[in-house]
């Protein structure tokens, strides 16, 4: 059994521990630029993406491509796990002749999204896919998809107001609506309206406030990607007065691991609870293995 830090979807680290199949989380939890062009190592990506081509966002890809061709700004709402951050950008890379900028709200998220995108291409960050943030950069002359933080975009616009060579700018996780994100959008709209009519802007998030955004961007098409649905079963287990909380939780987890074939994700209030449940569960799992032998 080992403990590790686990990266959440938002890019933050949550304390976590893994035991057998169990992971514990501490939680409160057509225009000139629009041309089909195969990206570097595209054949590798196609081979590696067979297992992710069924992601929910793939169903709206044709509609999204039409919207990006016909409109300067597009809104995309897709739930967590739909593939909008780690699958969609590579699909768009094959459609645009210029570079693509993918804005992430946090440094850690930018780094990990870039690493995942590069992994799908069978590369290391700095080749076709790179990233740039304050005091750290892994981009090169062959980089066509660059994952950056919002502050970096402001600096880029100061040095190059026209964003020469950039075909598309994607603002990811826009529902967080930080000052930096709003400033980035305002600057991009200014560039688009005054200098670069061919520049495309894609705003995507798990929960876009489409009412306000559509009021600000009345001509922007809004596309919604449905999430996956799975059957949910609820079970309530009473806590025995003779058992401590951690012991009772460990017993429930041990029982579920014996009953169910899949993995188990357990949310706990904090690191201390994770450590105590991990200790309790370690002895129960060891006991189960001894009985099996």
CATH number at residue 128: 3.40.50.300
Expressed as residue numbers, the domain containing 266 is 2-28+236-292
Q: Is the pTM of this model over 0.85?
A: no
- Output the six-digit token pair for 140: 């090169």
Q: Tell me which residue has tokens 């876009």.
A: 208
Q: Which of 202, 224, 246 is the last residue of a domain?
A: 224
Q: What is the pLDDT along the chain (293 residues), one digit of tens a residue?
A: 433 433 333 333 334 444 444 554 444 333 334 444 444 444 344 435 445 557 888 999 999 999 999 999 999 988 888 889 989 999 999 999 999 999 998 888 899 999 999 999 999 999 999 999 988 899 999 999 999 998 899 999 999 999 999 999 999 988 777 788 889 899 999 999 999 999 999 999 887 666 777 778 888 999 998 876 667 788 888 877 777 888 889 988 988 888 888 888 899 988 999 999 999 998 887 766 666 65
Write down the pLDDT at residue 116: 93
Last residue of a domain, one of 180, 202, 224: 224
Are 183 and 47 in the same domain? yes
Q: Spell out the residues 6+ positions from residue 78 whose beta carbon is closer than 8 angstroms to its own.
A: 56, 57, 60, 84, 204, 205, 206, 224, 225, 227
In this structure, the answer to whether residues 212 and 166 fall within a common structural domain is yes
Same domain assignment for residues 124 and 88: yes
- Report how many domains make up the chain: 2
Beta bridge partners of 223: 76
Burial of 234 (C-beta count, 10 Å sphere; 0-12/13-18/19+): exposed
Final residue of a structural domain among 224, 257, 278: 224
Burial of 103 (C-beta count, 10 Å sphere; 0-12/13-18/19+)? buried
- On whether residue 35 sits in a domain, the answer given is no
- Whether residue 217 sits in one domain with residue 282: no
Residues 57 and 186 in one domain: yes
pLDDT at 125 (0 to 100): 94
Q: Is residue 262 part of a domain?
A: yes
For residue 26, the model assigns a pLDDT of: 46
Asked if 201 and 192 touch (Cβ cutoff 8 Å), the reply is yes
- Give the CA-trace dihedral at 185, 189, 192, 193, to 10 degrees: 180
Residues 251 and 288 grouped into a single domain: yes
Cα-Cα-Cα-Cα dihedral sign, residues 134, 137, 142, 148: negative
Helix ranges, 127-209 (H): 150-159, 179-194
């Amino acid at each position: 059994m080992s403990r590790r830090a686990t990266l959440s979807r938002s890019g933050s680290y949550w304390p976590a521990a893994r035991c057998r199949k169990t992971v514990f989380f501490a939680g409160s939890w057509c225009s000139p630029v629009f041309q089909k062009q195969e990206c570097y190592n595209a054949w590798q990506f196609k081979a590696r993406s067979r297992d992710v081509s069924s992601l929910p966002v793939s169903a709206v890809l044709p509609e999204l491509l039409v919207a990006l061709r016909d409109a300067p700004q597009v809104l995309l709402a897709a739930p967590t796990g739909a593939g909008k951050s780690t699958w969609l950008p590579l699909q768009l890379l094959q459609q645009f002749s210029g570079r693509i900028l993918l804005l992430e709200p946090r440094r850690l998220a930018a780094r990990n999204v870039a690493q995942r995108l590069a992994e799908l291409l069978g590369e290391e960050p700095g080749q076709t896919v790179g990233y740039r943030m304050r005091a750290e950069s892994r981009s090169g002359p062959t980089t066509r998809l660059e994952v950056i933080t919002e502050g970096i975009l402001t600096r880029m616009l100061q040095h190059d107001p026209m964003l020469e060579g950039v075909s598309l700018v994607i603002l990811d996780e826009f529902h967080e609506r930080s000052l930096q994100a709003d400033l980035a959008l305002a600057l991009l709209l200014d560039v688009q309206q005054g200098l670069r009519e061919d520049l495309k802007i894609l705003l995507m998030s798990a929960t876009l406030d489409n009412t306000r955004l559509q009021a600000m961007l009345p001509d922007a098409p809004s596309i919604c990607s449905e999430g996956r649905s799975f059957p949910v079963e609820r079970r309530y287990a009473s806590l025995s007065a003779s058992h401590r909380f951690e012991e009772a939780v460990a017993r429930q987890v041990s029982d579920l691991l014996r009953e169910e074939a899949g993995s188990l994700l357990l949310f706990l209030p904090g690191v201390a609870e994770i450590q105590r449940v991990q200790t309790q569960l370690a002895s129960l799992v060891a006991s189960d293995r001894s009985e099996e032998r």
